[in-house]
Structure 1
Amino acid sequence: MQINNVEIEDTFAEAFDIYVSKFLVTAATQKFAKIAADETVGFGSSVISCPAEAGIDAYIPPNETPDGRPGYVVMICHPKKDELEHQLIERIGQCILTSATTAVFDAMGDEADEKLRIGFKLKFFADGYDSEGNVGGRKIYKIPLMSGDFVIEEELGIKGGVAGGNFFVMAENQASALLGAEVAVDAIQGVPGTITPFPGGIVASGSKVGSLKYKFMHATTNEKFCPTLRGAEGIDCEIPEGIEGIYEIVIDGVSEDAIKEAMKAGINAAVKVPGVKRIYAGNYGGTLGAYQIWLTSLF
C-alpha cells in the first residue's frame, strides 16, 4: 500500500513484553524540571547494553500537577521487575533527589498493576530525619537537604507494557531520512504513554540480534540495511534501489494499543517529507517477542 506516494511495506515490527514505570518530576521552574528529567533518562536507549530503556513522556503544566508546579512525566522500562525497581531507586536517588527544587509523584494511577515503595526506600537517605506528609491526597516523604526538602510519593506504580515497536524511514538521501525521522518523533510525542528512548528519539545505528562472527556480541550492525555496504561481497542487501538514507524509530509504551497509535502517528508524519520513499519495520521472524505489529494494519 501507499500513503502520499510512499510505499508502506507489508511487514511487521516485532515487539516484546516489558515492565513500565511512569512518574512525574516537578520543580520550581520548567527549566529545572526538564534538567532533572533529562538526567534521569540518560543512558537509556536499549536494554541490550543499557541498564534500562527510558524517556520523557510528556510535559505537565502547573495546574495539572499535585504540587502546582511544572513537571515532566518520565518512563523507565525493563524486562525484569526487580531490575526496574533497582533502576527507579538509582535514577531517582542519583538524578532527581540531587537536582534543585525537585519532587516526584506517581503518574501511573489506576493503570498500575502494582505499586513499589520507592519513596519509602529512598527516605533512608534522610538518616532518620525524614517526615511524612500529604500532597493532594498522596502520602509523601520529606527528605531534608541543604537546599530544603526533597518530596517523593511513598509508592510508584508499575505495569506490564510493550517495547520494541519500530519502523524504518527510508529516503533518497540521508537529509530526507533524518527530517522524516525528526517529524515522526515530534508526532509520537503527542501520543500519551509512549517514549522513543534513543537519542533524540532516532536510531542511527540499527542492529540485529547477535553476530555473524563474534560470539561475545549480543547485537551488531544490521548490514543488510547499511547503504555503504550495498554491493559488498557476501551481503544480501535488502535496501531498495534509490534509497541512500535510513533511520529507525523505536517505541516503548504502556500497551500494544499505545505502540500502534504512536507508530501510526509517526508514519503519517514521515510520509509527508519530500524524499521519503518507503516505510519498513524490523523483525526477527517472530523469535524476539510476542507482538507482531503489521504496518499495513495500522491504516
Structure 2
Amino acid sequence: MELNGVPIDDTYAEAFPTWVSRVIITAVTEEWAYKAAVEATGFATSAIGCPAEAGIDCFVSPDETPDGRPGYAILICATKKKLKEQLVERIGECILTAPTTAVFDGLSDVVAEVTEKIPVKLHFFGDKYEEQREVGGRTVWAIPIMGGEYIGEEEFGAVKGVAGGNLFVMGETQMSALIGAQAAVDAISGVCGVITPFPGGIVSSGSKVGSKYKFMVASTNEAYCPTLKDKVEGSKVPEGVNALYEIVIDGVDEDAVKMAMAEGIKAASKVPGVTFISAGNFGGNLGPFKFDLKDVLADEL
C-alpha cells in the first residue's frame, strides 16, 4: 500500500500498558509555563533506563485553565508505583521551584473515565504556613514561597494507557529522513492526550528487546541499521534507504495513539526524499497492543 506515493509497510507497531497522569502547569506567561514543563519532563525518554516516560502534550490556553493563565499539559507515564513517586518528585523539584507556577489535574479533559486518583501532598513544604483555597472551582493548596505563592492541586488522576506506539520514517539521506520525522512529530503535536517522549520527539538509536550481552535488557536494532544492511542477515532496511528514525508515541488510550500514528504517517509521507514508512514490533514479546499500519490508515488509503 502507498500514501502520497510512499510505500507503507504491511506490518504493525507493538505497544505495552503504562499508567498515565496528565498535569496542567500554568504560569504568568506562556514562556514560564513552557520552561517548567520542559524541566518537569526531563530524563524521561524510555522505560528501559529512565524512571518514567514523559513529555509535553499540548499548550492550554488561558480560557481553558482553572486560573485563567497560559499553561502546558504534560503526560507522565510509568508503572503505578513509580507514577506516584514521579509525580511527587517532578512537581516538587521542577514545578514548585519554577517562577509563578501552579499545577492542576488535567486528565479528565482527555479521557471519559478516570480510574484512579494519586495523592501528591506537597503542602507540607509550607511548614504550617500553607492554606487551602478555591481556584476555578478546584480545591488547591497555597504555599508561601519567596516569589509569592505556589498554587497546586494535590490529587491527580491516573489511567491505564498505552506506551510504545511507533512508526519508522525512512529516507534517501539522513536529512530527508530527519525532516520527514520532524514533520511527523509536528503533526502528532496537534493530537491531545499523546506525547513523543524522545529528544525532539525522535529516536535516533532505536532498540530491540534483549542482547547478546546477558547484562543488557535492550540493544541496537541491527535489522534497521543502514550501515549494517549488507552485513546482517535479515536486514529490514530497503534498498536506497540510508537513514531512518523512529517516533515513539505514548498516550492515554489506544484511540489517541492510533490517531497520532495516522497524523504522523500522513505528514511524513509528504516530505520529498522519504521513501518508506514502517513500524517496529517484537512478535508479542513487548506488549499486547497491536497497531496495524493498514488499520491506522484505513480512512486514508
Amino acid at match of 1:201: G
Match of 2:147 in 1: 147
Match of 1:36 in 2: 36
Following TM superposition, by how much is the alpha carbon of 1:22 offset from its aligned partner in structure 2, in angstroms? 0.3
Q: Percent identity?
A: 57
- Structure 1 unmatched runs, 5+: none
Match of 1:13 in 2: 13
TM-score with structure 2 setting the length: 0.96
Correspondences of 1:90-169 after superposition (within 5 Å): 90-109=89-108, 111-118=113-120, 121-169=121-169
Runs of 4+ in 1 over 3 A off after TM superposition: none
Question: Contact 2:122/2:154 (CA < 8 Å) preserved in 1?
Answer: no
Match of 1:241 in 2: 239
Match of 1:89 in 2: 88
Match of 2:251 in 1: 253
Amino acid at match of 2:132: E
C-alpha distance in 2 between matches for 1:104 and 1:58? 15
For residues 121-142 of structure 1, the C-alpha deviation after alignment (integer angstroms, 9 at most, x for no partner) is 1111112221100001101001
Question: Contact 1:26/1:70 (CA < 8 Å) preserved in 2?
Answer: yes
Question: Contact 1:172/1:276 (CA < 8 Å) preserved in 2?
Answer: yes
For residues 80-126 of structure 1, the C-alpha deviation after alignment (integer angstroms, 9 at most, x for no partner) is 211100000000000000000000001012542121121xx111111
Following TM superposition, by how much is the alpha carbon of 1:236 offset from its aligned partner in structure 2, in angstroms? 3.2
C-alpha distance in 1 between matches for 2:165 and 2:230? 29
C-alpha distance in 1 between matches for 2:69 and 2:49? 35
RMSD: 1.0
* 2:281 is the alignment partner of 1:279: no
Following TM superposition, by how much is the alpha carbon of 1:235 offset from its aligned partner in structure 2, in angstroms? 4.3
Amino acid at match of 2:167: F
Question: Contact 1:223/1:235 (CA < 8 Å) preserved in 2?
Answer: no
C-alpha distance in 2 between matches for 1:277 and 1:58? 30
**Segment of structure 1 superposing worse, 69-78 or 103-112:** 103-112
Following TM superposition, by how much is the alpha carbon of 1:157 offset from its aligned partner in structure 2, in angstroms? 0.8
Question: Contact 2:10/2:294 (CA < 8 Å) preserved in 1?
Answer: yes
Following TM superposition, by how much is the alpha carbon of 1:60 offset from its aligned partner in structure 2, in angstroms? 0.9
Match of 1:58 in 2: 58
> SS state of the match for residue 84, structure 1?
helix
Question: Contact 2:162/2:250 (CA < 8 Å) preserved in 1?
Answer: yes
TM-score with structure 1 setting the length: 0.96
Q: How many correspondences in the alignment?
A: 294
Following TM superposition, by how much is the alpha carbon of 1:239 offset from its aligned partner in structure 2, in angstroms? 0.8
